[in-house]
Each structure stands twice: as C-alpha cells, then as structure tokens.
Amino acid sequence: MSTWFTENPIGVYLVLAVLAGLMSLVFFTSGRVKHLVGVILCLLLGVGVWLIDTLVVTDREAIQQRSLALAAAIDRGDLATLEELISADYDPPPSGKAAIMARAKRYFLPGERRYVRFSQMGVLFGRDANRATLRCNASAGGNFGTFHVDPPYLGTMELFFQKEADGKWRVTGFKVYNTGGSEITVPN
C-alpha cells in the first residue's frame, strides 16, 4: 500500500466529497434513489479510507510517534520509557546506552517542571531502509537536573533511528542545533 494513501489521504477524501456532493445534487433534483445509494457508498468508502489511515502505521508515522513519546517521557522523567525508546546500539558521545541512561538519571528527575516539544517533524530515509533521521523544530525549558533552561531553548534537532529486530524504531543518537544552524554541545 502506498504511503500517500496511508499517511495523508486528503485527496481521496476530497474526491469522495465532490462525488457525494454531485450525487446529492442530482438526487435532490431528480429524486432517483440510485443517486442516494451513490452518496451512501461515497460515505462508506470515506469511512473505509479513514479506517485504513488510522489502522495502518507507516515507518514514518511510527518514528514520529516514537519521537513524541520520547519528549513526553522526558517531560515526566519516565526513565523506563526512555530506556525502551533508546537502542542498545546508541553510540554518540558519551558512547553507549548505559552512559546515556546515566545522564538521563541525572537530568530527567521525576517531579521536576520541564518540557520538551517537537514540531515540524520530517523523516528522511537513506539507502538503508532500517535507518532514518527525524529532523524537527525543538523547544525545551524548565529544570533539567543541575541546570535550568530559562529562557527556553529554541532550535532544531536531529534524532537518528534504527529499526530493530522486534520491528520497533529506537533512537541511536541525536544532534541539537541553535536557530543559526550551529551544533550545540549538550552538557555531560
């Protein structure tokens, strides 16, 4: 199934709406029941398209959902969810999943007031279908362990993902950039 249909079927909805509108107009002017049946068929097809769009989660949508889950886990200080979202192959400095989880325990304390938000998310796939990069606008503010982010951070972020043996996309690394496009070093 093609991704345009399962990720954004707005064109299909528009075609069905136009057809239903035309059939409604013809039904009300002619009174023929077959045109009413056509309207009902368009509505049923619209429901079918909505079900397919809702139930089929593409890799792009899965990565976006996992990214939002990552931001929500940071907001809550939910280390168990963070650990599930981070790959065993996590590799940027400090290298390794154990090191990044140790940092998370210091910076994402439960009960602290903080937020992380991602918007304008775009997913790029390379030659390897099991690797992808999510680029997004990012903002953050509040208490992150020993440091306080005020005024809030605004910039962009890249999250690197890999699809693992269990079929789930997990983060293997990230980069943070300021509004000028320069990479920001995240504190250790």
**Any idea which residue has 């963070």 for tokens?**
82
Mean pLDDT of 152-164: 93
Q: Sort 112 into a burial class: Cβ within 10 Å, 0-12 / 13-18 / 19+.
A: middle
* Domain 59-184, second-level architecture: Roll (3.10)
What's the pLDDT score for residue 17?
Answer: 94
d(CA 132, CA 137): 17
Q: How far is CA 180 from the centre of its chain?
A: 24
Mean pLDDT, the chain, rounded, equals 89
Residue 4: band (very low, low, confident or very high) from pLDDT cuts 50, 70, 90:
low
Percent of the chain with pLDDT over 70: 94
Each domain of the chain, given as residue ranges in start order, spans 3-55, 59-184
What pTM, to 2 d.p., does this model score?
0.79
d(CA 112, CA 119): 23
What's the pLDDT score for residue 92?
Answer: 64
Beta bridge pairs of residue 122: 135
Q: Is the pLDDT of residue 120 over 90?
A: yes
What's the pLDDT score for residue 99?
Answer: 87
Per DSSP, the three-state class of 78 is: coil
Q: Is the pLDDT of residue 151 over 80?
A: yes
d(CA 147, CA 87): 26
What's the pLDDT score for residue 137?
Answer: 95
For 79-88, 93-102, 166-175, which range has the lowest pLDDT when averaged over its residues?
93-102
d(CA 169, CA 188): 25
> Which ranges constitute the DSSP H helices of 56-164?
59-76, 79-85, 97-107
Q: Residue 68: CB partners within 8 Å, gap ≥ 6? A: 118
pLDDT in tens, 18-67: 999 999 999 999 888 899 999 999 999 999 999 988 888 899 999 999 99
